[in-house]
Structure 1
Amino acid sequence: MRIHLAYITIVLLWATTPLAIKWSGEGPGFLFGVTGRMAIGTVCLLLMLGLYRQGLAWHRKALQTYLAVAVQIYGSMLVVYWAAQFIPSGWVSVIYGLLPLLTALLSAIWLKERSLKLGNLLAYILGISGLWAMFGSALQLGHAAVLGIIGVLASAFLQAVSSVWVKRIDAKIPALSQVAGGLLLSMPVYLLTWSEFDGHWPTEISLTSLASIVYLGVIATPVGFVLYYYLLIHQSAAKVALITLVSPVMALLLGHAVNHEPLTMKVITGIMLILGALLTHEFFDRLTTGFKQGYLPNNTSD
């Protein structure tokens, strides 16, 4: 039950995060938006550690885990905040739908997971086809959109590296500690990056931008990251990454309804292909296994 609840919560958070990311950077700039989010998130995580009376481990594997988590919290997040300036918010989640394939490939190479079975491969093909149908025409929008697409792809790759690296280290430390340690490593680098490339406190900030930063810092960062790494402890990296095949559908619909982002026939076609990918991933191998067990004889008679 906890696993299912964690999945549902992350899907909802990841569906709303792209729009909040875009809004948080409008006005104060993306560097202020992401740095403010992580600063608030760090405070929240430290308060949670105190509330649960949970300390941070400092042994070798723990430090390696914090560094691996920081790859996502700093590297992946910084890149996606930058890229979100150039493309609609829904596209961020759509392009992030490639994460399962990236994670599966890295898991097969790095963790020796059997994440590339026939059903999985068919699901990834359908998922990628759906994603391509939704953002294939984006290349016609100009140089900025191309940069945005490349940036989100790079961000998804960094997140895949982070999750597989955490699984490979297998430090056996709680998810809350993993995220808190990663944030503590990332926060000084964020402050240095903001100081070096921006360094200006915004003279004014809209209510929408402020609310987005607070939402991302208070809810999306502590709750979303902790649940994500909680799932990584209990599930395979490739299975956790499949969340990104569900959240794009919701993110696109939310962006269309709230931010007036276009929802074309290509997008609808992509949604149907992604749903087909989810069904294939969940049931293809089970059906083929059941067919073999139920219909093929286990022994022959004389």
Structure 2
Amino acid sequence: MINDFATAAQATMSYLRHRLGFRLWMVTRTEGDDWIVLFADDAGYGIKAGQAFRWTDTICARMVLGHGPNIAPATADVAAYAEAPLARQLGVGAYVGVPLRRTDGSLFGTLVGLDPEPRPREIREELDTVTLLADLLCAVLNAELNEGDAVRQAERTGADVTRDGLTGLYNRRGWELLLQREEERCSRYGHSACVVSIDLDDLQFINDAQGVASGDALLMRTARALDHVTRGSDVVARLGDDEFAMLMVECDYFDAQAMLLRVQEALATADVRASLGMAMRKAGFDLEEAFAMADAEMYRAKRTRKVLN
């Protein structure tokens, strides 16, 4: 029974392999300039799910821009396709590709078939079939994506037992749980995401000089500032005494930079001195690895602040 995007993708690729042949069928995601392989049915190219290529190097990028047909029995006959760097790298003799679009019409990725040898010209008559399968795949995809916010909200509610008692933010257990669940979505759909590591600079000094109550007030101001600038789908957590973390979902690099600026401004307005590190989740490393990189960047920032002070 086909009731989810992964199963639908695998069934679509299997059907097209039996109907049209072709050594490689893929369902991909376009994210910035990354062309990410979400699912692959490969019989010779050595392509696996999770691999990423430069979007502008692909035949699909040219197809989406209207520089060539959806079906090219001989890519050598289509100048834009023959010149595509990835086509030359992989050795592509024939191409089939159609866009996969979100409900709002924006590009999600592509359904694509590649073969090292040219194919009969009659294969162009299969465009209606391939397009119909792509439309059905998009219907399943968009149903899942549209449910994403509700699913995330249910997860946030389910993690309420993992709240920090002082700030009301998620604690380390809640952070790890929600990070894992978001990584599953990122891996499934090719979503990008941003993680931020935050460490307060003055908590120990304030606790020693002014008392624990003043330190708690600092923690509460920090929590309110971070919570104020995030979306309902994002995650803010207090991981330890003076350690905070943020997860921004479906967030590209430019969105992340804008968010980081808002975080810095909110902390400054709340009279909170902190060191921050940010990293993006991209193809090739997961959210846990991205957070380790953000943590390392935060510690570099903290060392720099100490030197400057």
Measured against the shorter chain, the TM-score band is: under 0.3
Kindly indicate whether structure 1 or structure 2 has the higher relative contact order, using CA contacts under 8 Å at least 6 residues apart: 1
Structure with bigger helix share is 1
Larger of the two Rg values belongs to structure: 2
Structure with bigger strand share is 2
